[in-house]
Amino acid sequence: MKISIIGAAGVMGSCSAFNLIVHRLADELVMIDSWASMLKSHWMDLATVGAEYGVTVRSGTYQDMAGSHLVINMAGAPTGAVAARSEMLPANLPLIQQHAAAIDQYCPDAIVITGTNPVDPLNYAMYLLGKRRDRRKILGYSVNDSVRFRMWAAESLGVAATRMQGTVIGEHGHSQVMLFSTLRLDGKPVDIDAETKAKIRARPPQMLHDFESLVPKRTAGWTSAIGITAMVKAIADDSKAVIPTNMVLEGEYGGRNLSMTVPAVLGKDGAERIIELDLSPEEQQGVLATQRALDPHMRFVEAHLKR
């Protein structure tokens, strides 16, 4: 498998590159970034790691994506501290246009995973910009929400997070829908009281604030790396693993003309299908709310691309 990473000099791109190499999920890994000096420093380091693990690691440009089976887009415009990921949309949408054009030119059949924020409207943009518009191959990265949900639920129960299962759907942002109905401890349903649920729901905006207030600013590169690796492994192994994935909806969960996180079955062709879970009335209301929150950002994308 040949994998190309756009934005490979950044935190998310470089962490993902390292994890993909040590898990031997690529025969060839191409690192692309406009930040030339930082890209070279990461490439020099990771090329050595690749030699140890039998992975050819190259730095390059868009042209070097040719023949890629999978493209991971992590590139984003520099920003100041934000209170919500949606604030990044105007600056990052032009980058998505640029990357989508290059992917169409050099590796139009590749599966694309976008991790640039805000991922929901940017994954929708990647879909609209692609010549094929095959939503199965246009995926957004948002696994982190479910990983954190399980961690916070485990903390509230005083157990190890490895014993927990649970899923988050909807926006990769403040309106995300934590599906408490999916929480399992060692495979068995668990009850979380209303007060604890409220405390867990309050964690995502606080966590974003904590990251954004750091100097120097950083993002969740290592957390993203484990989720990206899980997605790539499911695709490479054709394992049919069910992973929370940002996808364009065609009626699932009542949504159309938008992208949001849903449980998806991943295999060699990308997302083979979306799984529609039985939701509680409270969770159904949450889905409606998250779609309302996402709607203006999707319409912004459509309007911008028509210019």
Contacts of 52 (CB under 8 A, 6+ apart): none
Contacts of 270 (CB under 8 A, 6+ apart): 111, 134, 136, 137, 138, 139, 235
Contact (CB, 8 A) for 31 and 57? yes
Cα(31)–Cα(17) distance, integer angstroms = 8
Contacts of 172 (CB under 8 A, 6+ apart): 85, 117, 118, 119, 120, 140, 142, 144, 145, 246, 261
- State how far Cα 190 lies from the chain centre: 27
Cα(6)–Cα(110) distance, integer angstroms = 13
Q: CA nearest 232: which of 265, 267, 256?
A: 267
Contacts of 94 (CB under 8 A, 6+ apart): none
Exposure string over 203-217, b if 16+ CB within 10 A, otherwise e: ebeeebeeebeeeee
Residue 97 tokens, joined: 């246009």
Contact (CB, 8 A) for 249 and 39? no
* Beta strand spans in the chain (E): 2-6, 28-32, 56-60, 70-73, 111-114, 138-140, 164-169, 177-185, 188-189, 241-250, 256-267, 270-274
Contact (CB, 8 A) for 118 and 170? no
297 catalytic, yes or no? no
Annotated catalytic residue within 69, 172, 297, 304 = 172
Active site residues: 172
